[in-house]
Amino acid sequence: MNWQMRNSFTQLKKNEYDLATISTSNYSELLRSRDILGYLKFYKKNYK
Note the Cα 1 to chain centre separation in Å: 14
**pLDDT above 90: percentage of residues in the chain:** 33
pTM: 0.59
Write a three-state SS string for 11-41. CCCHHHCCCCCCCHHHHHHHHHHCCHHHHHH
pLDDT band at residue 16, thresholds of 50, 70 and 90?
Answer: confident
Average pLDDT, the chain: 82
Spell 4-31 as b/e; 16+ CB within 10 A means b. eeeeeeeeeeeeeeeeeeeeeeeeeebe
Give residue 5's pLDDT. 66
